[in-house]
Structure 1
Amino acid sequence: MSFILNIETATKNCSVSIAKDGKTIICKEIAEEGYSHAEKLHVFIEEVIAESGISVHDLVAVAVSQGPGSYTGLRIGISAAKGLCFTLNIPLIAIDTLQTLASQAKVSEGKIIPMLDARRMEVYSAIFGVDLEIERPILAELIDENSFKEFTETLYFVGDCAEKCRQVLTKENFVFLEDIKYPSAAAMSKISYDKYQISDTVDVAYFEPYYLKDFMITASKK
């Protein structure tokens, strides 16, 4: 049996799950405007381990969202994941935040476009097939009425950008799945288990979040 702890803190959703052999057995999460990750994350970690009936020493790996996303949220999640991996001497698995978000769309045709808010009309986005194979790499892009116009198949948009993007993305083949707003640690379970089975891990000491945009990490002006 392979128990993996999944941590997702790239957005407003502070989310933690325990998975057994790639299936989520418990998940704790909360999405708040004030980003409560610093207060909630370690509490959720303790709770999911206790409620799943295992010991922290039963974990075979920790998986963490690598970004893109909130600078502060990513740092909190990755710091916690690294600390556990160092202490337990177990591998660290990095999960693409947008892949996790895309995997929550259960569709059988078309393409899935996960988008996360990057201020104003800019988003972090990628394009996935229904098999979750990435078809266009992650970009930070400005959304306007010409975005994605070259596609004729159904495009399923997921993420926290529906409210601002549906005003300009109005083609008939554009479908917004508004109930899928944030990536969840529950959706990381199969992805992290698949990576664990092929030893697709990262160096605990040197792994850094994928911020994508430099402005996300620049100091504020004095």
Structure 2
Amino acid sequence: MALILNLETATTNCSVCLAKDGKVISIKEYDSANYSHAEQLHNFIMEVLKEASFSLQDIDAVAVSKGPGSYTGLRIGVSAAKGLCFSLDVPLISIPTLESMAHQLVVPEGHLIIPVLDARRMEVYSAVYSRDLKEIRATEAEIINEDSFKEYTDTHTVHIMGSGAEKCKGVLNHPNIVLDTTVVPSAREMAQLSQKKFEANDFENVAYFEPYYLKDFVLQKKKA
């Protein structure tokens, strides 16, 4: 049996789930534009453990969404995960944020899934997955324009989902595009992915692991 704590803080959704052998047995999440991760994350961890009648000492591994996403959100999640791994002496597992997002959709044969997260200005973080969730194109940061994803939309129905889909509205008008702006990353979809990595002993070096920012962090100056 593997009991894995999954943490998702890459976007506005602060999400924690406890999974036993890849099945979610307890989940707590709250999606707020105010990014309440610093206040909520540790409370959610204790709440899911209590709900499932387990303690921190019962955990076999901690999995964390590694990005891309919010710089601050990723830092909070990874710091919490590493702290737990150090103190409990359990392995650290990292899950690509866009990959877990793609697992939220079930699409017809031949359709593609493109999870997109909002980045700065007209940029998004995106990756492309097949119906059976195989990676077709790795994660990139790109500026949305009328030709974005054209190599896929000309031949497939494409489901573009996530916070970055809002930037696609009014820019991408291809009839093969289905937009969904409501999808946010959740720890729920991390459960099976982290279980597979646990079984494969695919662990991170706790001391040296860093989130996958994709782009350098730029401090936004306040207007005078």
TM-score band w.r.t. shorter chain: over 0.9
Measure the CA separation in 2 of the matches of 1:69 and 1:95.
12
Deviation at 1:138, TM superposition (A): 0.7
User: Of 161, 164, 168, which residue of structure 2 is paired with 1:161?
Assistant: 164
- Structure 2 portions without partners, runs of 5+: none
The residue aligned with 1:11 is 11
The residue aligned with 2:189 is 187
In 2, are the aligned partners of 1:6 and 1:63 still within 8 Å (CA)?
yes
The residue aligned with 2:135 is 134
SS in 1 for 2:150: coil
In 2, are the aligned partners of 1:105 and 1:158 still within 8 Å (CA)?
no
Does 2:92 match 1:92? yes
SS in 2 for 1:150: helix
What TM-score results when the alignment is normalised by the length of structure 2? 0.94
In 1, are the aligned partners of 2:92 and 2:206 still within 8 Å (CA)?
yes
Does 2:180 match 1:170? no
RMSD: 1.3
Does 2:148 match 1:150? no
Measure the CA separation in 1 of the matches of 2:164 and 2:47.
31
Does 2:70 match 1:55? no
In 1, are the aligned partners of 2:116 and 2:161 still within 8 Å (CA)?
yes
SS in 1 for 2:149: coil
Deviation at 1:194, TM superposition (A): 0.6
The farther-off stretch of 35-44 and 25-34 is: 25-34
SS in 2 for 1:47: helix
The residue aligned with 2:112 is 111
In 2, are the aligned partners of 1:78 and 1:209 still within 8 Å (CA)?
yes
Q: How many residues align?
A: 219
Measure the CA separation in 1 of the matches of 2:90 and 2:170.
46
Measure the CA separation in 2 of the matches of 1:34 and 1:221.
18
CA deviations over 1:57-110 (Å, ceiling 9, x no partner): 111100001010111100100000001101111000000000011111122331
CA deviations over 1:31-72 (Å, ceiling 9, x no partner): 111100000000000000110111211111000010101111
Does 2:126 match 1:125? yes
The farther-off stretch of 191-200 and 127-136 is: 127-136
CA deviations over 1:159-209 (Å, ceiling 9, x no partner): 1122221211111110113442x1000110000001110011100000001
- Structure 1 portions without partners, runs of 5+: none
User: Of 193, 209, 212, which residue of structure 1 is paired with 2:214?
Assistant: 212
Measure the CA separation in 2 of the matches of 1:12 and 1:220.
18
In 2, are the aligned partners of 1:111 and 1:153 still within 8 Å (CA)?
yes
Measure the CA separation in 1 of the matches of 2:100 and 2:209.
19
What TM-score results when the alignment is normalised by the length of structure 1? 0.95
The residue aligned with 1:24 is 24
The residue aligned with 1:196 is 198
SS in 1 for 2:66: strand
